[in-house]
Every structure is written in structure tokens, then in C-alpha cells.
Amino acid sequence: MSTWTARDITDQTGRTVVVTGANSGLGAETAKALGAAGATVILACRNVDKAAPVAAAIGANAQVRRLDLADLASVREFAAGVDSVDVLINNAGVMAVPKSTTAEGFEMQFGTNHLGHFALTGLLLDRITDRVVTMSSLMHRFGSINLDDLNWERRRYSRWPAYGQSKLANLMFAYELDRRLTAAGSTVKSLAAHPGYAATGLQGHTQSLWDRFMGIGNLFAQSAEMGALPELYAATVDSVSSGTFIGPDGPFEQRGYPRVVGSSGKSHDRAAAASLWGESERLTGVTYRFGK
């Protein structure tokens, strides 16, 4: 696995993949690699104009559809327009943004990164034939799930802990989805991935002094093409097991080729994951239906 690249993706002809946030960064590189391998790729993006050049680069295999994960009405509208999907890649996200809220009043990072994808996956689940890949981050290790204040209404808002919470929630969701699919006897897989430290452009949208710092840091980051490899591996390799977390194989998982990696103890807290799941269903109004 240590030298696996996008050139090793098997023929994806006849398969349909939804990639959220495919207009730039990791999502764009993922969409382009899958399109080159023959997949029909649905670029699910809030800004469809920005997705157009990526779709043009892919060619006839690409479709652009609007999806705003910070608006559950948009999530429902998008899901209603999808007939069947082999692979859903929950890639989109926001990072360390100033305090703001989604259309439903959720804290923006938790609402977009976790709740939006939780709702999308639940609404599409009966039409997903192969697997769900959810992007997390090394920052999950610095996150905590505060079930009493998931939306930072009682605490003073802090952008980086809020980001860490959202990325821990992504990972806990992927693990819990795997457990529930397995219990239901489903053959659909749930996997998670993280890109290490990759130059994606996400780091430059914090609207703070961090933008300048992260811009300098990008000089030492691996490329978006390399950062996309873990999610591409998770999305396409037949032998990878459900419930697996894929990240780079280099020092401290900052860069390198995809391999199975570990995660924090908090991410494996089954009781917390079940509680987070219940709160996520309550907040989004999306109840999962598991059938064989």
C-alpha cells in the first residue's frame, strides 16, 4: 500500500460517485481522478460556477449539482435528485471560521462538516450500493464532543476547538455508521480518511491572522493531489475493510501514501457515538433506515 497512487485506481466505468465540495482542493482532485478512471462523478457543490472548470477538465463523465451543506433544505433537494450512487464521498468542509451559523442555526463548522453530511448520507442511504467515505482530520485528536452544547451556545466560541469537534464527529459518525450497517446485515461499507497536511486552500479561509500563517505553512505541505490519495484509496480499493481509517504513511501522518491509520481513544467511545447519532437525528430531522 505504501506507494499506491491515483494511477492504481481500478476501472470505475459504470460506477457513480458523489463528491461533496468538488469545486476545489481535495474534492476537485478526487473528482478528476475518479473521472479519469471512468466513473460518472457528481460534483456536489455550493457554488456551481466554481465547479464548472473542474467538470470541464473531467469531461462527459462529470455532472455539477448544487448542494449547500449549511442548509438542510438544499441537502434534501439534492438527495431527492439522485437516483443511485455507488460511492458517496463526504469531502466538503469549512475550517476555523469565525462564529456563524447555518440556515438552521447550527454552529457553522459542526453544522456543515458533520450535520450536513449526516443528513445527506441518511437521505441517500437506500440508494448507496457500495460505500460511504467520510473525511476527517488529524485535528480530530484535539476535539471533544460536548453533547450538552454541540452548537457552542453556552460556551465562549473558539474556532479551533470547534473545528476539532466537527472532525471528531465526522470520524465517530463513520465508525458508528459501520457498526449499524454491519448489525443490519448490509454490504455497504463506511470508511473514513484524512489527508495529512495538504495545500488545499481550505487553510486560507479562516478570516484571521491564521490565513497568513497557514499560507506560509503551505510551502511545506504536500500537494492536494497527494492529500486526496487516502480518500481515493478508501473509495476504490475493494479489499479495504469497512470501519477503516485511511491516512498518509509518512511521519506523524502529515504526508505520504495511503495506509490504515489509528485514531484517538475518544473516536472509539461507542456510548458517546450513539448519543451523538441520536442528537444528530434529532437536530437534522433525518432518521436512518437500515434494511438488508
Query: Which residue's entry shows cell 457554488?
Result: 47
Please give the pLDDT value at position 221: 79
Number of H helices, E strands in the chain: 10, 8
Residue 127 lies in a domain: yes
Q: Which of 157, 163, 233, 288 is catalytic?
A: 163
Residue 252 lies in a domain: yes
Residue 290 lies in a domain: no
Element (H or E) spanning 16, and its range?
Answer: strand 16-20
Query: Which residue's entry shows cell 487553510?
Result: 203
Which residues of the chain register pLDDT less than 50? 1, 203-205, 213, 216
Residue 1 lies in a domain: no
- What gap in Å lies between CA 141 and CA 159, rounded to an integer? 15
- Are the C-beta atoms of residues 191 and 244 closer than 8 Å to each other? yes
- What gap in Å lies between CA 185 and CA 172, rounded to an integer? 20
Residue 3 lies in a domain: no
Grid coordinates belonging to 154:
453556552
Render pLDDT for 138-163 as a digit per residue (tens, 0 to 9). 999 999 999 999 999 999 999 999 99
Please give the pLDDT value at position 261: 98
Q: What residues pair up with 65 in beta bridges, in sequence order?
A: 44
Residue 292 lies in a domain: no
**DSSP tag of 114:** I
Residue 118 carries which side chain, given as an amino acid letter? F
State the total domains in the chain.
1
The residue among 107, 182, 109, 112 whose CA lies nearest residue 151 is 107
Please give the pLDDT value at position 104: 98
Please give the pLDDT value at position 208: 53
Please give the pLDDT value at position 198: 87
For the whole model, what pTM was predicted? 0.93
Please give the pLDDT value at position 199: 77
Residues whose CB falls within 8 Å of the CB of residue 280, separated by 6 or more in sequence, listed in order: 114, 115, 118, 173
**DSSP tag of 111:** I
> What is the CATH number for 149?
3.40.50.720
Is residue 163 part of the annotated active site? The answer reads yes
Render pLDDT for 232-261 as a digit per residue (tens, 0 to 9). 999 999 999 999 999 999 999 999 999 999
Please give the pLDDT value at position 205: 47
Q: What residues pair up with 131 in beta bridges, in sequence order?
A: 87, 189
Using the Cα atoms of residue 37, residue 126, residue 244 and residue 20 in order, give the sign of their dihedral: positive
Residue 33 lies in a domain: yes
- What gap in Å lies between CA 35 and CA 61, rounded to an integer? 6
Residue 156 lies in a domain: yes
Please give the pLDDT value at position 219: 54
Render pLDDT for 166-193 as a digit per residue (tens, 0 to 9). 999 999 999 999 999 999 999 999 999 9
Helix locations, the chain, DSSP H? 25-36, 48-58, 72-80, 108-109, 117-124, 159-183, 210-217, 224-227, 229-236, 270-284
Domain extent at residue 142: 8-284
- What gap in Å lies between CA 247 and CA 290, rounded to an integer? 28
Please give the pLDDT value at position 216: 46
